[in-house]
A and B are shown apart, each in its own frame.
Chain A
Amino acid sequence: MLLSLEPRGQQSRAMLWLSPLLAAVLTLCSGALLFALLGHDPLDTLHTLLIAPLADWYGVSELLVKALPILLCALGLAVAYQARIWNIGAEGQLLLGALAGSAMAIQIIDWDSRWALVWVVLAGVAAGAAWGGLTAWLRTQFNANEILTSIMLNYIALNLLLFFVHGPLKDPAGFNFPESAMFGDASRLPLVSEDGRLHAGLYFALLALVAVWVLLHKSFLGFQIKVLGLDRRAAGFVGFREKRLVWFALLVSGGLAGLAGVGEVAGPIGQLVPQVSPGYGYAAITVAFLGRLNPLGILFASLLMALLYLGGENAQMTMNLPQAITQLFQGMMLFFLLACDVLILYRPRLKLKWAQRTTNAEAMA
């Protein structure tokens, strides 16, 4: 018996657009099934996970706080993925952005001027972009696979961060805790409203959203990136500079991830700690694909992903469910999305090999 996939003659565009929704529904169903098996009331648990966190303004603002870094990373990834440059390094680029931003903030901890924040943010963006640029350099200079290099750079970035937070950047008056001093007020992102922790990173994210949308859908540069992704030979044939485009995509990708990182330390956290990111950079990969590499789609997908983070914490607190619920839902979401896409593009076929053989044998006899 052999299962084989045949391409469908007619591809349904509508189904391809609906596929993320379908994946979300399937994830909910499997989640409910799982909770039932664990002996929890499925509807009640799903309510705790997905609806309860949004009951008030504070919940909504927390959702946005969580969504911002994911959105920024995923927007950057979308630019790279459109060029079929598989940057898996958003996490490392985010961490380095946080590290460099913190280093700058500690340096200028006494400043009062508004420029302090500008320098901190610039340092974060530049460091993230540089970390992405490292991947671009390895790829264009040595033809090294960017998937491998960017993953490995993630671990280097994490260990760099740990080194600095346990060493040079540790708060001298911090009772030997592995964390930096609190940043000066001038280098913190201002809050958007009195209640909650929603900060001015929101404006950066909205700006990035519009900029990436214009880049990918209106600009010729974005067109070149897409051509490079779809058809490298055609890009060479019309003279698009592949190396420059790879550099550009990875610098943008890294810069936005760096912005996300510095937004975390200069925003809700206010200092450098070892746990800057609960895997935002990895979640952003799922978000980028869930949003179909389209900025608007990514906006919705990042809100959904943030909800899962929030709901996971809520379920842990109120129902004693393990934190792993969040990752489980993320994983199921990506799995169902890919499965839906495959089944929309291909038709599975069971080939009964033994049946074929007997008919052949009959024919021969």
Chain B
Amino acid sequence: MSSSPSVPRLQLSGISKRYPGCLANDRIDLSIAPGEIHALLGENGAGKSTLMKIIYGVTQPDSGEIRWQGEPLKMRDPAMARSLGVGMVFQHFSLFETLSVAENIALAMGAAAGTPKQLEPKIREVSQRYGMALEPGRLVHSLSIGERQRVEIVRCLMQDIKLLILDEPTSVLTPQEADELFVTLRRLAAEGCSILFISHKLGEVRALCQSATVLRGGKVSGHCIPAECSDLQLARLMVGDAEGLESSYPKAGGGLPRLRVDDLSWHNADPFGCTLSQIRLEVRSGEIVGIAGVAGNGQDELLALLSGETRLPRSERERISLDTQPIADLYPDARRKLGLAFVPAERLGHGAVPDMSLSDNALLTAFQQGLLSKGLIQRGKVRALADEIIQRFAVKTPDADAPARSLSGGNLQKFILGREILQNPKLLVAAHPTWGVDVGAAAAIHRALIALRDAGAAILVISEDLDELFQISDRIGALCSGKLSPLAATAETEAVEVGRWMAGEFAPLPPITSPLAAAAASLS
């Protein structure tokens, strides 16, 4: 490394960026030393992504100064950033699934770097040096998410790298894969490469990073040394004073089985999609069952089958039953009539119509709750329902006429969850209920779920956030490549074991129960 350790590798001072309607970055200062692993912490919408794009030259700041190894400069575009030795691994990978690893890397590096064949030895060498096993000839679509991430990182390491930016790299990894990634990152840092690690998971930031910059609402809310701060202190920096940051809920045993999924197999016609095989699952009244898993392992497919967006033929309708009534062939509205409620993963565009008002969005799923009369909408009742949701679940909005798109993620999620809860469901299926939601709203959502459970509803939560699942669920399992692990009582298992399940390490299913035995079990 050319520069002396006293000169920071990258120094930002007074960086501001305004987008129409919001100040994304407000006079941000940040300094990263050579060989330092620096965390950038903050909730969704705190301005992390904008800052990162400014460093990588994707967007230009409105004001402020960037110094690279002490020299002021203007980061014109990503090509310039790469030529300076800045590498970036985005949260969503930019890989061509039908090409091989070497071809993808060659594409990203440009013609000057050589043909895929010429690059292969170097790819092998880099991947071995940093302990990231990777076979250059394999096609990307056959790689796991963790392996795809390695392709992205190796691509950055192929050139002389001085600063590596990673955007929430562990959100797609199992705990074990994350630990392997950390070994690689530490080795890189030891060789003098600076690393900017963007995350909102406090535990891993503390384990990995020497220093941290915390953003809140576009501003720096503090610099700190993560090892010396408690989770609560860091969380306060990230979200301010919010209640319920630290809470644990008593576990419940559950009563009668509500939802039964019986040897559900479903072939996905999409070659890159996930095929479900022999899913067997039971959710009882008064309990929360959590299903962990890295995205893309069959969660979306299972959710669609449960909600009714994907339906099975009538001959297979017994595969999913609600209170012993087969429902696998029913449309979503018929399932809702039987007491199923559903909170999808995507709030805008799936759970709510962005351009419609909150009261229209209340009508969207609650229309079978006496809001219609002879096919006409009872506007007064719809409005009253929307107002009740807003008031009971503390949704921050001017009124029920505000369009759904104008609400923040957490507020809209509270509204959607409230809409489903006020329909008094027997079974609630919730996908990623607190994804992208700030800590305060997440705590409110957790409390609402627990209250619904205690009122006797059965709840199935599918989430990628293992901490969340351990916090709220009574039993837990994991999906991997379309197969479901056995479920265990949350109190009797631990993250390591569930992490193994997420990686597919669980025993094959016990022999199929006969329909008679299943019927007997559901009756008892």
Encoded as 1 (CB less than 8 Å from any A CB) or 0, chain B from 182 to 198 comes to 00000000000000000
Which of these, A10, A214, A219, A230, contacts B21 with CB under 8 Å?
A10
Least CB distance, A312 to chain B, in whole angstroms: 37
Contact status of A237 and B342, CB under 8 A, knowing A230-B355, A360-B74: yes
CA distance A213 to B62 in the complex (A): 49
Contact status of A220 and B353, CB under 8 A, knowing A234-B364, A238-B333, A239-B331: no
Which residues B290-317 have CB closer than 8 A to chain A? Answer: 307-309
Which of these, A8, A236, A239, contacts B334 with CB under 8 Å?
A239
Which of these, A8, A239, A360, contacts B336 with CB under 8 Å?
A239
Contacting pair B353 A239 (CB below 8 A):
no
Least CB distance, A230 to chain B, in whole angstroms: 5
Which of these, A226, A230, A234, contacts B350 with CB under 8 Å?
A234
CA distance A218 to B356 in the complex (A): 15
Q: Which residues of A contact B333 (CB under 8 A)?
A: 238-240
Q: Which residues of B contact A7 (CB under 8 A)?
A: 20
Contact status of A231 and B353, CB under 8 A, knowing A218-B376, A220-B375: yes
Contacting pair A237 B309 (CB below 8 A):
yes
Assess whether A9 is interfacial by the CB under 8 Å rule: yes
Assess whether A241 is interfacial by the CB under 8 Å rule: yes
Contacting pair A6 B375 (CB below 8 A):
no
CA distance A214 to B353 in the complex (A): 22
CA distance A359 to B73 in the complex (A): 11
CA distance A360 to B60 in the complex (A): 11
Assess whether B242 is interfacial by the CB under 8 Å rule: no
Contacting pair B21 A9 (CB below 8 A):
yes
Q: Which residue in chain A gives the minimum CB-CB distance to B77?
A: A360
Least CB distance, A241 to chain B, in whole angstroms: 7
Contacting pair B20 A9 (CB below 8 A):
yes
Contacting pair B309 A236 (CB below 8 A):
yes
Interface size grouping (class) on chain B: 35 or more
Assess whether A3 is interfacial by the CB under 8 Å rule: no
Assess whether A38 is interfacial by the CB under 8 Å rule: no
Most-contacted residue by chain B among A8, A360, A364 (CB, 10 A): A360
CA distance A218 to B377 in the complex (A): 6
CA distance A360 to B72 in the complex (A): 12
Contact status of A234 and B353, CB under 8 A, knowing A219-B377, A364-B73: yes
Which residues B485-513 have CB closer than 8 A to chain A? Answer: none
Contacting pair B331 A241 (CB below 8 A):
yes
Which of these, A220, A231, A239, A363, contacts B372 with CB under 8 Å?
A220
Assess whether B271 is interfacial by the CB under 8 Å rule: no
CA distance A239 to B307 in the complex (A): 9
Least CB distance, B417 to chain A, in whole angstroms: 15
Tally of chain A residues near chain B (CB < 8 A): 28
Most-contacted residue by chain A among B351, B365, B377 (CB, 10 A): B377
CA distance A10 to B19 in the complex (A): 12
Q: Which residues of A contact B332 (CB under 8 A)?
A: 236-239
Contacting pair B352 A234 (CB below 8 A):
yes
Assess whether B363 is interfacial by the CB under 8 Å rule: yes
Contacting pair B74 A223 (CB below 8 A):
no
CA distance A364 to B80 in the complex (A): 11
Contact status of A237 and B356, CB under 8 A, knowing A218-B376, A221-B375, A231-B349: no
Contacting pair A219 B376 (CB below 8 A):
yes
Q: Which residue in chain A gives the minimum CB-CB distance to B333?
A: A239
Contacting pair A233 B349 (CB below 8 A):
yes
Which of these, A220, A227, A231, A359, contacts B377 with CB under 8 Å?
A220
Assess whether B367 is interfacial by the CB under 8 Å rule: yes
Least CB distance, A81 to chain B, in whole angstroms: 15
Most-contacted residue by chain B among A214, A220, A360 (CB, 10 A): A220
Q: Which residues of A contact B76 (CB under 8 A)?
A: 360
Contact status of A231 and B354, CB under 8 A, knowing A223-B377, A238-B332: yes
Most-contacted residue by chain B among A7, A221, A227, A347 (CB, 10 A): A227
CA distance A83 to B19 in the complex (A): 32
CA distance A8 to B19 in the complex (A): 10
Assess whether B36 is interfacial by the CB under 8 Å rule: no
Encoded as 1 (CB less than 8 Å from any B CB) or 0, chain A from 183 to 219 comes to 0000000000000000000000000000000100011
CA distance A45 to B332 in the complex (A): 60
Q: Which residues of B contact A223 (CB under 8 A)?
A: 360, 363, 377
Which residues B326-369 have CB closer than 8 A to chain A? Answer: 331-336, 342, 344, 346, 349-356, 360, 363-365, 367
Least CB distance, B232 to chain A, in whole angstroms: 36
Q: Which residue in chain B gives the minimum CB-CB distance to A221?
A: B375
Least CB distance, B162 to chain A, in whole angstroms: 18
Q: Which residues of A contact B353 (CB under 8 A)?
A: 227, 230-231, 234
CA distance A347 to B331 in the complex (A): 43
Contacting pair B73 A363 (CB below 8 A):
yes
Q: Which residues of A contact B331 (CB under 8 A)?
A: 239, 241
CA distance A218 to B379 in the complex (A): 8
Which residues B356-403 have CB closer than 8 A to chain A? Answer: 356, 360, 363-365, 367, 372, 375-377
Contact status of A227 and B375, CB under 8 A, knowing A6-B20, A239-B308, A364-B73: no
Q: Which residues of B contact A231 (CB under 8 A)?
A: 349-350, 353-355
Q: Which residues of B contact A364 (CB under 8 A)?
A: 73-74
CA distance A10 to B20 in the complex (A): 8
Encoded as 1 (CB less than 8 Å from any B CB) or 0, chain A from 337 to 365 comes to 00000000001000000000001100110
Least CB distance, B320 to chain A, in whole angstroms: 15
Q: Which residues of A contact B335 (CB under 8 A)?
A: 239
Q: Which residues of A contact B72 (CB under 8 A)?
A: 363
Q: Which residues of B contact A9 (CB under 8 A)?
A: 19-22
Q: Which residues of A contact B377 (CB under 8 A)?
A: 218-220, 223
CA distance A238 to B354 in the complex (A): 15
Least CB distance, A147 to chain B, in whole angstroms: 22
CA distance A226 to B336 in the complex (A): 21
CA distance A221 to B353 in the complex (A): 16
Q: Which residues of B contact A221 (CB under 8 A)?
A: 375
Which residues B155-180 have CB closer than 8 A to chain A? Answer: none
Contacting pair A238 B73 (CB below 8 A):
no
Least CB distance, A242 to chain B, in whole angstroms: 11
Contacting pair A363 B354 (CB below 8 A):
no
Least CB distance, B356 to chain A, in whole angstroms: 6
Q: Which residue in chain A gives the minimum CB-CB distance to B337?
A: A239
CA distance A10 to B355 in the complex (A): 14
Contacting pair B349 A234 (CB below 8 A):
yes
CA distance A355 to B245 in the complex (A): 49
Encoded as 1 (CB less than 8 Å from any A CB) or 0, chain B from 67 to 84 comes to 000001110100000000
CA distance A112 to B360 in the complex (A): 51
Encoded as 1 (CB less than 8 Å from any B CB) or 0, chain A from 98 to 130 comes to 000000000000000000000000000000000
CA distance A221 to B74 in the complex (A): 56
CA distance A234 to B309 in the complex (A): 10
Least CB distance, B405 to chain A, in whole angstroms: 11
Q: Which residues of B contact A214 (CB under 8 A)?
A: 376
Q: Which residue in chain A gives the minimum CB-CB distance to B379?
A: A218
Least CB distance, A103 to chain B, in whole angstroms: 35
CA distance A10 to B21 in the complex (A): 7
Contacting pair B20 A237 (CB below 8 A):
no
CA distance A290 to B317 in the complex (A): 48
Q: Can you list 7 A-B contacts (CB < 8 A)?
A: A219-B376, A220-B372, A227-B353, A227-B356, A230-B355, A237-B351, A239-B332
Q: Given contacts A8-B20, A230-B353, could you give 17 more A-B pairs where the C-beta distance is less than 8 Å?
A: A7-B20, A10-B21, A231-B350, A231-B353, A231-B355, A234-B351, A234-B353, A236-B332, A237-B307, A237-B350, A238-B332, A239-B308, A239-B331, A360-B74, A363-B73, A363-B74, A364-B73
Closest 9 CB pairs of A and B: A9-B21, A239-B332, A9-B20, A239-B333, A363-B74, A239-B331, A231-B353, A234-B353, A233-B350
B-to-A contact residues, CB < 8 Å: 19-22, 72-74, 76, 307-309, 331-336, 342, 344, 346, 349-356, 360, 363-365, 367, 372, 375-377
A-to-B contact residues, CB < 8 Å: 6-10, 214, 218-221, 223, 226-227, 230-231, 233-234, 236-241, 347, 359-360, 363-364
